[in-house]
Amino acid sequence: MRSLDELLHRAEDLYRDLRFSAVREWKARTGGLAVGYLPVYVPRELLHAQGVLPVGVMGAGDDLEIIRGDAFYQSYICHLPRSTIELGLNGALDCLDGMLFPATCDVIRNLSGMWMMQFPGKYVHYLDVPQDFSPEVGGAFYRHELEQISEALTARGARPLTTAALRASIALYNDNRALVEGLYTLRMAEPWRVPTGELYLLLRAGAVLPVEEHSAMLRDYTALVTATTERRPMDQARVLLCGSFCEQPPLGLIKTLERAGCYIVDDDFVQVHRWIRGHVRSNGDDPLQDLVLAYLHQGIQSPIRYIDEAKKGQDLVDRVETSGAEGVIFCAPSFCDPALLDQPMAVAAIERAGVPWTAFKYSENTGQFQVIREQAGTFADSIKLWSE
Amino acid sequence: MTDTAADQTRGRPAITKDASQERQKAMIASHFTRLARAPETGDKCAYTFVPGNLTELLNSFGVLPVLPEINALQSGMRGKSRDYIGLAEKLGHSEDVCTYVKCDIGMLKSGNIGPTGERLPSPDLLLLSYTGCFTFLKWFELLAQEYSCPIVMLHVPYQGDGVITDSMRRYVVDQLKKKVIPALERISGRAYDEDLLKEQLARSARAEDDLVWVLESAKHRPSPIDAYFGGVYYIGPIFTAFRGTQDAIEYYRELRAEIEERLRLHKGPVTPDGELGEERYRVVVEGPPNWTSFRQFWQMFSEEGACVVASTYTKVGGVYDNGFRHDPSRPLETLAEYCMGCYTNLNLPTRVQMIARYVQDYSADGFLINSVKSCNSFSAGQLMILREVEQRTGKPGGFIESDLVDPRYFSASNIKNRLESYFQMIAQKRAGAQ
């Protein structure tokens, strides 16, 4: 087994590698297709079952100077699509045979059309996920969406979808989700063992590694941090970080929050790993339908998902309780419609529950953290000093 | 207050109005009056949106539509939006998000007084027609916190691949059958009457024929209409409460007759300062107008002799000039196709194709994009649209930025400078070509 340092270096190298070398190596090794996806959720199991590597394109963080990407967007549009376009234009995404744009917001939606025009030879699909959650209506529509993707991948050289392969892929991703969830649970119980800066790097590694390799990495990390005796608890405030589900914060921001006295005990990072709660049925006669049903009935209550029956904000209150968070930090990207439009409802719910909160915004390339550090530090202090 | 009265109060010359415009204003005022009286008359109201509106279906149940975007733009035109937005921001709504939403929330928190000065009724149903705009989803989630009425979601799939598939159509129709119609039956106490719906849809198609004729009259030189600033008046009835009504048929018939007469007399469009004199520039405009300085914005065009011959904003509540008409023989399918065909539900390549076609078909000198901060559905990708349309048509594109109803984002001098430079560039190109 690798040492913890080696493992984390590998994860950080993957995170910083804006040429997607791991994907290129995988393609050279296997000859398979690689298809990118934007946040927040795509059914990776389907791609995997056809021998396609799903690749999360999560922006370029603070490591890439945006030159041409800015020429595509006005000042009042978030940063993620700028860096995505930049990565496309500088050749970093040449290794991808296609891109999936899930229904997240109007910016990502329109980016799908821009991609069609800018990269005409590539497979591009806007994945319209249902907002009706009955199997016979929204489920039928979603199933057709998945079938369309599957057929398009086959037409481009991927293996045809088989029941056995999809069952196997579902099982692999179930295992992967359980490992991620296990780390979240461990962090809730003993946050000093699982610093969020590390957990985040592991989540990001899962965006580019084959699921089998990623699961091995998660397994190793879990064993190493469980066994270590070097990490000890500190007197930090337990906070839940809310709103960072699409454009990701820079790693420096996450570390800043931890250094400012916060234990992040729950968050929204790289949500594709946690979108489906629990296992997807992996032994049914119709695994594609099982994938559909999991989306309909096991999806998290994200701001991009219509909540038809549940009370808005209650899910956040429940997460606060489950995680033992003492406060909530609303940490949304600037100009993020889903997060920022949702925020007043979420704030109202946690205020009713008597949970302290604070809020700030970021961009993926935010480079100055002093103000955030002071704000988060004051918030953590206030929790420690004044909370009952 | 009407525009005319408001203009007189502000000491500006009154806008000259055609008979159809007076009729249109009377129709819309009567609708708001009916809404204001709903608590006494017992009329049921559904809050819903302009894109993908189901007016004929609502009318068939006797349910009145309330359209929050219309209320917001009216608040913008009446100078109320600044305070409403400010109030919403004080209540925790981000400065980054749609100002229609904040204007609506601010209006609600200020007593929900509509454009005619009367209180709007609370909704009996929130009909979330989720068409072409992500913000709609959050908007009605926010409203659902304020009202105790039921909410029903109609998810309209996006034309990501530029086509409507059978699966998409079936998805919308199934939602209409299983969710929307039962909800309307519950609040209205009436059973679904398909024959009544068919009658409405047949009337819609007749009005749509005349609307398309009016919009396409701008292909003439000079154009008898302004298809953007004037166009927002023309689309008023059909985008709001009147599609499927006899009133709409009569309005569009009258409008068409007026335009026919203007064509016969070789007259240009009516502008805030009277008839447009020489038509010096013909442009296509992409994006919604600014509402807080609507008249001033229009004048920046008319003072330069610029006429907007086609616009995309006038397709936001339905694209009819591609041949689509509501088809009474397939009532629910046609509603589904209507919803999916609204402009902001079209993918970017289709939008580019449409604008390029307008530039060519309407013999435009160029096209302008008014990029509004509030609306990512329109705005995200417009800089690419600009380059693509320029490339395809060889005509120059211009780019200005403003907002829908937030007056803080309307910088008159900047916009005027840009427009003047843009028109000068067209003039120079023209001179160079000669």
Residue where the block lists tokens 């088809």: B327
φ and ψ of A361, to 5 deg: -120, 160
| Cβ–Cβ below 8 Å for A136 and B381 | no
Name chain B contacts of A138, Cβ cutoff 8 Å: 155, 171
Name chain A contacts of B382, Cβ cutoff 8 Å: 74
Instruction: State pLDDT tens for residues B276-300.
Output: 999 999 999 999 999 999 999 999 9
Residues B270 and B418 grouped into a single domain: yes
Give the β-pairing of B270-271 and B274-275.
antiparallel
Short-list B118, B101, B91, CA closest to B47 = B101
Q: Select the residue of A105, A312, A343 nearest B376 (Cβ to Cβ).
A: A105
A273 within 8 A of A180, measured Cβ to Cβ: yes
Q: Smallest CA–CA separation between B313 and chain A, in Å?
A: 17
| Cβ–Cβ below 8 Å for B384 and A118 | yes
Name chain A contacts of B91, Cβ cutoff 8 Å: 344
Q: Select the residue of B167, B379, B381 nearest A141 (Cβ to Cβ).
A: B167
Q: What is the pLDDT, as a whole number, of residue B21?
A: 86
Comparing A300-314, B233-247, B343-357, which segment has the lowest mean pLDDT? A300-314
The rounded distance, in Å, linking the Cα atoms of B368 and B396 is 9
Residue B354 burial (CB count, 10 A): 21
Residues B139 and B212 grouped into a single domain: no
pLDDT for B223 beyond 60? yes
Q: Smallest CA–CA separation between B309 and chain A, in Å?
A: 26
Name chain B contacts of A106, Cβ cutoff 8 Å: 133-135, 376-377, 380
Positive or negative, the Cα torsion across B228, B233, B234, B239? Answer: positive
Q: Smallest CA–CA separation between A196 and chain B, in Å?
A: 27
Q: Select the residue of A73, A116, A348 nearest B349 (Cβ to Cβ).
A: A116
pLDDT for B13 beyond 60? no
- The tens place of each residue's pLDDT in chain A, 388 residues long, gives 789 999 999 999 999 999 999 999 999 999 999 999 999 999 999 999 999 999 999 999 999 999 999 999 999 999 999 999 999 999 999 999 999 999 999 999 999 999 999 999 999 999 999 999 999 999 999 999 999 999 999 999 999 999 999 999 999 999 999 999 999 999 999 999 999 999 999 999 999 999 999 999 999 999 999 999 999 999 999 999 999 999 999 999 999 999 999 999 999 999 999 999 999 999 999 999 999 999 999 999 999 999 877 789 999 999 999 999 999 999 999 999 999 999 999 999 999 999 999 999 999 999 999 999 999 999 999 999 987 6
C-alpha neighbours within 13 Å on the C-beta side of residue B379: 24
B388 within 8 A of B355, measured Cβ to Cβ: no
Task: Please state, in angstroms and as integers, the Cα–Cα distance from residue B75 to each residue in B71, B407, B411, following that order.
Answer: 6, 11, 19
Q: Select the residue of A105, A138, A340 nearest B96 (Cβ to Cβ).
A: A340
Enter the tokens of residue A238.
């337990």
| Cβ–Cβ below 8 Å for B165 and A144 | yes
Q: What is the pLDDT, as a whole number, of residue B19?
A: 87
Residues B177 and B204 grouped into a single domain: no
Instruction: State pLDDT tens for residues B133-175.
Output: 999 999 999 999 999 999 999 999 999 999 999 999 999 999 9
Name chain A contacts of B352, Cβ cutoff 8 Å: 117
- Whichever domain contains B179, its CATH number is 3.40.50.11890
The rounded distance, in Å, linking the Cα atoms of B331 and B194 is 8
Name the domain boundary from B146, B166, B193: B193
Residues B172 and B229 grouped into a single domain: no
Residues B183 and B268 grouped into a single domain: no
Q: What is the pLDDT, as a whole number, of residue B7?
A: 47
Per cent of chain B over pLDDT 70 is 96
Residue where the block lists tokens 């949970």: A355
Q: What is the pLDDT, as a whole number, of residue B12?
A: 55
| Cβ–Cβ below 8 Å for A113 and B348 | yes
Residues B296 and B220 grouped into a single domain: yes
Searching chain A, which residue's CA lies closest to the CA of residue B385? A114
In sequence order, the 6+-apart residues with CB closer than 8 A to the CB of A120 are none
Q: Smallest CA–CA separation between A289 and chain B, in Å?
A: 16
Q: What is the DSSP letter of B224?
A: S
Residues B21 and B95 grouped into a single domain: yes
- Whichever domain contains B262, its CATH number is 3.40.50.11900
Q: What share of chain B is helix, strand, coil (3-state, %, to 5)?
A: 55, 10, 35
pLDDT for B1 beyond 60? no
| Cβ–Cβ below 8 Å for A335 and B401 | no
Q: Smallest CA–CA separation between A365 and chain B, in Å?
A: 18
In sequence order, the 6+-apart residues with CB closer than 8 A to the CB of B229 are B271, B289, B294, B297, B298, B301, B308
φ and ψ of B249, to 5 deg: -60, -45
Q: Select the residue of A73, A114, A312 nearest B348 (Cβ to Cβ).
A: A114
Q: What share of chain A is helix, strand, coil (3-state, %, to 5)?
A: 50, 10, 35
| Cβ–Cβ below 8 Å for B158 and A109 | yes
pLDDT for B4 beyond 50? no
Name the domain boundary from B129, B163, B193: B193
B410 within 8 A of B374, measured Cβ to Cβ: no
Residues B381 and B425 grouped into a single domain: yes
Strand partners, A102: A127
C-alpha neighbours within 13 Å on the C-beta side of residue B257: 9
Residues B89 and B201 grouped into a single domain: no
Domains contained in chain B, number? 2
Choose the mutation target among B87, B90, B96 for the interface with A, i.e. most A CBs under 10 Å.
B96
Enter the tokens of residue B53.
């509106």
**Fold (CATH) for A23-164:** Rossmann fold (3.40.50)
Residue where the block lists tokens 């930049």: A86
Residues B116 and B217 grouped into a single domain: no
Q: Smallest CA–CA separation between A198 and chain B, in Å?
A: 31
Between A163-189 and A287-298, two packed helices, what is the crossing angle to 10 degrees?
A: 30
Residues B177 and B301 grouped into a single domain: no
The rounded distance, in Å, linking the Cα atoms of B117 and B6 is 13
B38 within 8 A of B121, measured Cβ to Cβ: yes
B45 within 8 A of B121, measured Cβ to Cβ: yes
Choose the mutation target among B376, B390, B408 for the interface with A, i.e. most A CBs under 10 Å.
B376
Q: Which structural domain range is residue B359 located in?
A: 197-433
What would the DSSP string read from start to end of B378-401?
HHTTHHHHHHHHHHHH---EEEEE
Searching chain A, which residue's CA lies closest to the CA of residue B347? A113
| Cβ–Cβ below 8 Å for A131 and B379 | no
Long-range contacts of A225-232 (CB under 8 A, 24+ apart): A225/A4, A225/A186, A225/A193, A225/A194, A225/A198, A226/A186, A226/A193, A228/A4, A228/A193, A231/A192, A231/A193, A232/A192
Q: Select the residue of B142, B153, B352 nearest A308 (Cβ to Cβ).
A: B153
Q: What is the pLDDT, as a whole number, of residue B116?
A: 85
Name chain B contacts of A74, Cβ cutoff 8 Å: 371, 373, 379, 382-383, 401
The rounded distance, in Å, linking the Cα atoms of B14 and B4 is 5
Residues B182 and B288 grouped into a single domain: no
Q: What is the ipTM of this complex?
A: 0.97
| Cβ–Cβ below 8 Å for B97 and A347 | no
| Cβ–Cβ below 8 Å for A117 and B347 | no
Average the pLDDT over B85-94 and give the result. Answer: 98
A to B CB pairs, distance under 8 Å: 157
